[in-house]
């Protein structure tokens, strides 16, 4: 009977000890958007994107003003020009607008491609840093904060990863 009690006590101790070992698995989460918006490299990329978007918008506004001015000029000349000449200038104005729309579309596509490539490069660099961080800190799993419904703030490793990212990555090429 004493052997059974000893066996039972040893079994319980091992069971709880084993449970404690499994409870020590580290799972953390990080806010990727926060890192992108607040890292040195991310800020540079965001500034470039904003500057290019602003440049495109300014060009579009200026060209729209120019087209409106040409249109008003054409309307004012409506009574002076022959029907054939008016039609030629009208077609020329439409072609000018189409060409400009193609240019703007191309620039917007280039900007979208730049954003896409920047995101890919950022995620590649961040993945390397997160893998290294997980290895150095014996972390079992790191999850995106966007996929977490509720979590302790002590499990948020965003600031630590941001600091490492800023030290290692100064800009995204």
Confidence category of residue 2, pLDDT binned at 50, 70, 90: low
Q: Where are the domains of the chain?
A: 2-168
Contact of 169 with 39, CB cutoff 8 Å = yes
- State whether residue 148 is helix, strand or coil: coil
Residues counted in the chain: 173
- Rounded Cα–Cα distance for residues 142 and 13 (Å): 31
Go through 127-146 and write b for each residue having 16 or more CB atoms within 10 A of its CB, e for each that does not.
eebbeebbeeeebeebeebe
Q: State the number of CA atoms in the 13 A half-sphere of 99 facing the CB.
A: 8
Give the pLDDT band of residue 19 (cuts 50, 70, 90): very low
Taking Cα atoms as reference points, which of 135, 130, 150 lies closest to residue 39? 130
Among 38, 32, 34, which Cα is nearest to 147's?
32
Cα gap 92→87, rounded to integer Å: 9
How confident is the model at residue 25, as a pLDDT?
A: 67
> What is the per-residue pLDDT for 35?
94
Alpha-carbon span 132 to 39, nearest angstrom? 18
Q: Which of 19-33, 102-116, 138-152, 155-169 has the lowest mean pLDDT?
A: 19-33
The mean pLDDT value for 72-100 works out to 85
Residue range 42-72, pLDDT digits in tens: 999 999 999 999 998 998 899 889 988 988 8
- Which residue is associated with the tokens 């499994």? 22
Kindly give, in sequence order, each residue whose CB lies less than 8 Å from that of residue 9, ignoring residues fewer than 6 positions away: none
């Amino acid at each position: 009977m004493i052997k059974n009690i000893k066996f039972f006590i040893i079994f319980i101790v091992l069971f709880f000890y084993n449970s404690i070992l499994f409870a020590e698995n580290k799972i953390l989460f990080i806010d990727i958007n926060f890192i992108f918006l607040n890292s040195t490299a991310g800020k540079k990329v965001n500034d470039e994107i904003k500057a290019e978007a602003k440049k495109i918008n300014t060009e579009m506004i200026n060209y729209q003003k120019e087209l409106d001015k040409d249109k008003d000029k054409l309307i004012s000349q409506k009574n002076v020009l022959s029907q054939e000449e008016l039609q030629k200038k009208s077609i020329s104005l439409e072609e000018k607008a189409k060409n400009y729309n193609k240019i703007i579309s191309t620039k917007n596509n280039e900007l979208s491609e730049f954003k896409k490539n920047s995101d890919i490069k950022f995620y590649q660099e961040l993945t390397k840093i997160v893998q290294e961080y997980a290895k150095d800190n014996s972390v079992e799993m790191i999850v995106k904060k966007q996929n977490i419904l509720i979590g302790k703030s002590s499990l948020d490793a965003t600031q630590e990863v941001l600091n490492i990212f800023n030290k290692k990555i100064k800009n995204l090429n």
